Structure 1
Amino acid sequence: MRRLLTALLAASLAACASNPKPPPPPSPDTPALGATSTEAPPPPPTAQDPEAFRDKPPEPGKPPDLVLPTFQSAKLDNGLTVLVSTRKELPLVFAGVAFASGSAQDPKGKAGLAELSYRMLLEGAGKRDTVALDNAFADLGVSPGLDVNPDGAEVGVRVLKRNVEPALALLADVVMRPKFDAKSFDRRKKQQLADLVRQLGSPIMLAQLAALDAIFTEDHPYAHMSDGLPATVQALTLADAKGFYQRHSGPRAAALILTGDITLDEAVALAKKHLGSWKGPGTPPAAPPTPAAPPRQLVYVVPKPELAQTVMLVGRPGLAAGHADEYALELATTVYGGFFGSRLNMNLREAKGYSYGAGAFMDTRLGVGPLLSYTAVRQDVTGPALTELVKELSGLKERPITEKELESAREGLIRAIPAGFETVEGLGATAASIYFKRRPLNELERTVEGLRNATAAEVQRVAELYLAPDAMQIVLVGDPATIQEQVGPLNLGKLTPVEPDEEPAAPSAGK
């Protein structure tokens, strides 16, 4: 075999040698043999700097037009509000029921009751127990979600258009005929207690609890988290949960929210069919009272010996939704700490390296919500970091907000608005927020207009009025010895230990 291959190879080479291919014909542009070209040779290519493109940043593209959703409303004879926002791109609908009462209606000493009461809605309804109800939703390809906040609660599902009616029939059972079974109550209560144990292991959660109490005082409806505290939740009974829901539910204190591939006429027809017979005594509660904002006298310390970081929350009462200063203060807060390039983050993270990040936000609610700045810093720079945080607050007056800072904040806030309604359930949450805060249906348009029209003078005025450091309460979670050594000499207030995860003392008689 090897000899045969050798022979074939030799024959092939011989054939190639005896029959050479003719040369290609000369090109018309090729000079004749021996002729001299009169054209100069092309210049050698110049070397280009491969990094030259970095000298000129790419031009930004034209931003897309801002298209805001529209909302429509109707009211049934029994007082139920129907809120609709139509979006036809996909055959999807969010269907939910929003309640006008939230954790702000928790009775004194029963923090966490609203959370537990509303969670019981998904623990069996009508003729179905917990498992059967869950399976009925699963048969539609969905799992219901439930959220409780200080101003209200919402239970709902995202379904295919063809499944809207059966989903709404299940939601009608949930809100009109909840079981409140004793065995399910005990299990749900244990779950809430377990969640609290996990949450209270977080220094950030401890800081939030202490900050709410410091900002609002313990008697204010906004002074506690929706989940409550272990001591308060442990004391709750099935009668408490039933009583809360019976007092606060009813068509006059609720809204049916339908967003997506559905019209107002379709929504009203479904509402009449499934919720038109709903009855209940609930009415929308009054807004919580406006808290005072006294000068700071104390620095609240949640002691966590040898904690590697110190968590800082600094804040005061802010504004209620719809306040005349809302949009200007939103812009000022954003410049101070509302995005990555804010003054606070660029100082503590980028310039000093004290923290992975720092920020600030304003939570407008039906009543006056909190205005907070926050960070977590290395334990060894607790004092210097707090000094810089307070300095940035003072700097809003000493170094007025520039036009560039203002425009960056304005553009960022307006461009972020569509993130709230990317999905039909997000659109439903936007509708629920409008209902909770009792805002007009064109609230999104008003927000964009308010952010666009806020002047530099208005933003500077509210920055100096609401972000002045003297009215800011300070909460620190960290090593008490380090805090004493580094924060004590700053004279920001008397260092006062607090235990926010413990039940507050009962008020004495006559108070």
Structure 2
Amino acid sequence: MMMRRLFVSASLLALASCATPPAAVPTAPPPAAEAPAPQDAEAFRAKMPEAGKAPDLVLPTFERAQLDNGLTVLVATRRQLPLVSVGMAFSAGSAQDPAGAGGVADITYKMLLEGAGGKDTLALDNAFSDLGVSPSVSITPDGAFLGVQVLTRNVQPALALLADVVRKPTFAPKDFERRKQLQLADLVRRLGSPSFLAQQAYLPAVFGEGHPYAHPTGGTPAEVSQLTLPAVQAFYRKHVGPQATALVVAGDLSKEQAVELAKQYFGDWKGQAVQPPAPPAPPVPPREKVLYVSKPGLEQTTVLVGRPGLAAGHPDEDALELATTVFGGFFGSRLNMNLREAKGYTYGAGASSDPRLGVGPLTANSAVRANVTGPAVTEFFRELADLRSRPITSQELESAREGLIRSFPGGFERVSGLGASAAALFYKHLPMDELNRTVERLEKATPAEVQRVAEAYLDPAAMQLILVGDPEIIRTQVGPLNLGTLTPVDVAGAGRPAPGKAGK
């Protein structure tokens, strides 16, 4: 009986497993998704993308020390890489050239690398090359800087070479003659550049004949051809010494390390040179002449407009920088947008303020198509006049402010840039925190303050006008504008008026 129940139960389970399952009850399909509305692929252009958060502005810190012999030590420590920019900043530049001896400062500082400490030019160059470096020298109206960028482990041998260069230059006659001929060849080459010709005429026109800033750094061919080795040696003795020089160290060294190195290589250096005073401020007379350098057949006319500006540290310096930037200091400036974008007269037009130890130049310039010389000059002076009749807007001011402040880090990407900045502080007798002060003044400059300096310093009547181009085009297109007496300039004669008849 029990066995039968088990069999029946097993049979029922087997039948159940073989039975066809009941059909599923059909359900309604889900409703179809609603098709998205078509979108305009260009709709994103209606709204300008928002700028991300600007990075924090981090300015370098410059430290200063002084040795017992008067040598200044300037340090900017940056530890990211084992690199150091080390060099010597000299406080006398081309502004200290004796009258009629333009170019002597330039040749003097370049001669320091033409042999020193018992090494001739080739041996000295090889000694620097053994350290993987090549020294460079730059000369400005206010000073000069000679230095190298080396690995931290090579700082001491590099300083040993620099000490010889600065303290024990050879000044061999044959090296002087070779350097002089190189300088003359370079000047002759540059006389083919319209922009250089314009500068030759511009500097004496703005600063006046005989002013320390009235000649180019490299001098003129007439002046350089008359230079002598005794003149170079006299400049060195008068202007190079511990009290007129700074050791500039930027990069992977601390202030304490830099001072110890300065004592080791320059602690016993003696000399009577002192830092020169600032050149006198030039007068700012109204424009009476239109100076031009004759270049027949030139396809472009170089236009320079300018006047004496400000000395470094003047209370109006940063407000004027903002005003000049709005006028012509960046791509979206009034002058560039007019001459390039609206009129198509030029590839670009610009303006700059160059504060120096003394009063530096305030300049606007462009190279325009020769056939629109007159209209382009007209627009220069119209834009200057419009600064008064069409005041600087808040939007223009903020664009200039942000552009200037955000551009600061670009000068410090390399330790060599740090060194050059420190040297400029030394030349111009500025405090070590001048960069921070500059940013603070730029941030605080008010629209009223910027407008005031724009009207005061960018007055069209005080702007001298210099042209380089085809004389016939200048006479026919600029003469009728009545901006001053057309006066030809002989740049080979250091910017003096050329012989010949001037025309109105």
Structure 1 and Structure 2 fold alike (TM over 0.5): yes
SS across alignment from 2:169: coil
Q: Which residue of 1 aligns with 2:117?
A: 126
Matched residue, 2:153: 162
Report the Cα offset of residue 187 of structure 1.
Answer: 1.1
**Is it true that 1:472 corresponds to 2:463 in the alignment?**
yes
CA distance in 2, matches of 1:437, 1:326: 13
- For 1:448, the equivalent position in structure 2 comes to 439
Once the two structures are superposed, the pairs formed by residues 271-420 of structure 1 within 5 Å of their partners are 271-420=262-411
1:504: how far off?
A: 6.5
Do 1:344 and 1:392's aligned partners in 2 also have CA atoms closer than 8 Å?
Answer: yes
Shift in Å at residue 48 of structure 1?
2.9
Question: Does the residue aligned with 2:112 lie in a helix, a strand or coil?
Answer: helix
Distance 1:344 1:504, change over 3 A: closer
Displacement, 1:37?
A: 4.3
Shift of 1:406: 0.6
Aligned to 1:266: 257
1:501 partnered with 2:488: no
Of 137, 142, 162, the residue aligned with 1:146 is: 137
| Cα distance in 2 for residues equivalent to 1:315 and 1:500 | 18
* Cα pair 1:94 1:425 within 8 Å, conserved: yes
Which one-letter code corresponds to 1:157 in the other structure?
V
The 8 Å contact of residues 200 and 494 in structure 2, kept in 1 or not, is answered as no
Instruction: Tell me the distance in 1 between the aligned counterparts of 2:455 and 2:35.
Output: 64
> Could you give the per-residue CA deviations for residues 395-444 of structure 1, whole angstroms, max 9, x where no partner exists?
00000111111111111111111111111000000000000000001000
Contact 2:204 2:495 in 1 (8 A): no
CA displacement, residues 78-115 of structure 1 (integer Å, 9 cap, x when unaligned): 11000001111111111000000000011111100000
Structure 1 gap ranges (5+): 1-31, 507-511
Give per-residue Cα distances to partners, 1:421-468, cap 9 Å, x unaligned: 111000000000000000001000110011111111111111000001
Distance 1:89 1:469, change over 3 A: same
Query: Partners of 2:70 and 2:423 in 1: how far apart?
Result: 17
- In the TM superposition, what is the alpha-carbon distance from 1:39 to its structure 2 partner? 2.2
- Matched residue, 2:97: 106
Deviations 1:245-278 (Å, cap 9, x if unpaired)? 1111100000000011111110110000001111
CA contact (8 A) 2:92 2:276 kept: yes
* Inter-partner Cα distance in structure 2 for 1:505 and 1:341: 36
Q: Residue 500 of structure 2 aligns with which residue?
A: none
Tell me which residue corresponds to 1:484.
475
- For the residue of structure 2 that corresponds to 1:501, the secondary structure is helix
2 CA distance for matches of 1:98 and 1:437? 11
Match of 1:56 among 26, 47, 56: 47
Change (3 A) 1:318 1:37: same
Structure 2 CA distance for aligned equivalents of residues 163 and 425 of structure 1: 16
1:209 to 2:233 alignment:
no
Write the distance in 2 (CA, Å) between the matches of 1:80 and 1:127. 24
1:59 deviation in Å? 1.2
Question: Is this contact kept in 2: 1:354–1:377, CA < 8 A?
Answer: yes
Distance 1:282 1:36, change over 3 A: same
Aligned residue for 2:335, secondary structure, equals helix
**2: CA distance between counterparts of 1:236 and 1:412?**
44
Using the alignment, how far apart are the partners of 2:484 and 2:207 within structure 1? 18
* Further displaced range: 442-451 or 192-201: 192-201
Q: Is the CA contact 1:206–1:501 (under 8 Å) kept in the aligned structure 2?
A: no
Question: Once the two structures are superposed, what CA deviation does each residue of 1:261-306 show, in whole Å capped at 9, x if it has no partner?
Answer: 1111101100000011111221111100000000100000111111
Counterparts of residues 236-247 of structure 1 (less than 5 Å): 236-247=227-238
Distance 2:256 2:27 in 1: 89
Equivalent position SS for 1:498 = strand
Q: 1:43 aligns with which of 34, 38, 51?
A: 34
How much has 1:313 moved relative to structure 2? 0.2
Q: Percent identity?
A: 63
Local SS of the residue matching 1:122: coil
Give me the whole-angstrom Cα distance separating, in 2, the residues matched to 1:61 and 1:501: 53
Query: Which residue of 220, 225, 245 maps to 1:229?
Result: 220
Could you list the runs of 5+ residues in structure 2 that have no partner in the other structure? 1-22, 498-504
CA distance in 2 between counterparts of 1:253 and 1:142 reads 26
Question: What is the number of equivalent residue pairs in this alignment?
Answer: 475
**For the pair shown, which has the larger CA radius of gyration, 1 or 2?**
2
Residue aligning to 2:5:
none
Equivalence for 2:10? none
Q: Structure 1 length normalisation: TM-score? A: 0.91
Distance 2:495 2:372 in 1: 32
Q: Structure 1 residues 503, 317: CA separation in 2 closer, same or farther (over 3 Å shift)?
A: closer
Residues 504, 360 of structure 1: alpha-carbon distance in 2 compared, 3 angstrom cutoff:
closer
Q: Distance in 1 between matches of 2:315 and 2:35?
A: 69
The answer to whether the 8 A contact 1:393-1:468 is kept is yes
8 Å Cα contact 2:201-2:495 kept in structure 1: no
TM-aligned CA deviation for residue 184 of structure 1: 1.1
State the 1:49 CA deviation: 2.5
Residue type at the aligned position of 2:149: R
Question: Could you tell me which amino acid in structure 2 is paired with residue 208 of structure 1?
Answer: Q
1:429 to 420, 435, 440: 420
Q: Give the letter for the 1:288 counterpart.
A: P
How big is each residue's C-alpha offset from its partner over 1:375-411, in whole Å with a ceiling of 9 and x where there is no partner?
1111111111110110000000000111111111111
CA deviations 1:162-221 (Å, max 9, x no partner) are 111110000000000000011111111111111111111100111111111100012100
CA distance in 2, matches of 1:422, 1:71: 15
Contact in 1 for aligned 2:489/2:496 (Cα 8 Å) = no
